[in-house]
Amino acid sequence: MAQHGLRVSDLFSTLEDAELDALVEDVLKRHPLKRVQSKAGFELLHISIPGSWRDVYAGVLDLFYTIFTNLENDGLLNPDDEVHLYALQRCFLPHVQKHLQYFQDGWNHHKLRTEGNQSPIQLWLSHQLQDPIQIDAMQYGIDWRGPCGHHEPRVVIPKGQIQLTQEDAERFPDPDVPLSNVSEVYRETVMLLYEMLE
């Protein structure tokens, strides 16, 4: 990225909340929510992807964006430095995953006013009890008539060039600490990595 004059933080939106709300409203006007019948005979609600991503960003990702931006602003994170990226991934990835799982659990169990205050999980289970169907969990929720996407349903984080032995890896501080302490674990990991690579 450095060869193109970009930093990781340059890839994020600079839109204010009001601008983002207006953009989402415009998309919703052009592509309103619609209901469709599934092959199994029950109704599915197509939700707005921009709205969903906004919820994920506000509920989870903004926290980590703020942490990473602060680390960068304090000179503790250089997104072009392999050591920093290795330490960042090692220390923060488990926490990002944990927070995304909390968000998913909360989303699947939140009450839907329009569905008699039942949660998405309750709706799915009640339908399964009424009319059980075999579902491939890896394909559940895919709209085969929707736009074709050629992406795996996961984020791929490229492996870096740093190769460590098991003995080296055991020297690192444990990243399984409260989130409030992860930045310190990150700093310690960076220092240890520089020592190991000298």
- The two three-digit tokens of residue 17, written as one number: 């909340």
Match 């690192």 to its residue by tokens. Answer: 172
Average pLDDT over residues 142-168: 68
Q: What is the pTM of this model?
A: 0.61
Output 52 or 81, whichever has higher pLDDT: 81
Model pLDDT for residues 156-191, shown as the tens digit of each residue = 666 677 888 888 888 999 999 999 999 999 999 999
For residue 73, the model assigns a pLDDT of 95
d(CA 104, CA 100): 6
Model pLDDT for residues 6-25, shown as the tens digit of each residue = 444 444 455 666 766 666 56
Angle, CA of 48, 94 and 96, to the nearest 5°: 30
d(CA 23, CA 40): 34
Query: Got the DSSP string for the chain?
Result: -GGGT--GGGGS----HHHHHHHHHHHHHHS---EEE-TTS-EEEPPPHHHHHHHHIIIIIHHHHHHHHHHHHTTS--TT-HHHHHHHHHHHHHHHHHHHHHHHHHHHHS-BGGGTTB-HHHHHHHHHHHS-----TTTTT--TTS----S-SSPPPPP-S----HHHHHTSPPS-S-HHHHHHHHHHHHHHHHHHH-
For residue 187, the model assigns a pLDDT of 96
Q: Determine which of 30-44, 66-80, 124-138, 146-160 has the lowest per-residue pLDDT on average.
A: 30-44
Q: Determine which of 51-65, 69-83, 85-99, 122-136 has the lowest per-residue pLDDT on average.
A: 122-136
Model pLDDT for residues 37-78, shown as the tens digit of each residue = 334 444 444 444 556 777 888 888 889 999 999 999 999 999
* Cα 97 off chain centre by: 7
Mean pLDDT, the chain, integer:
75
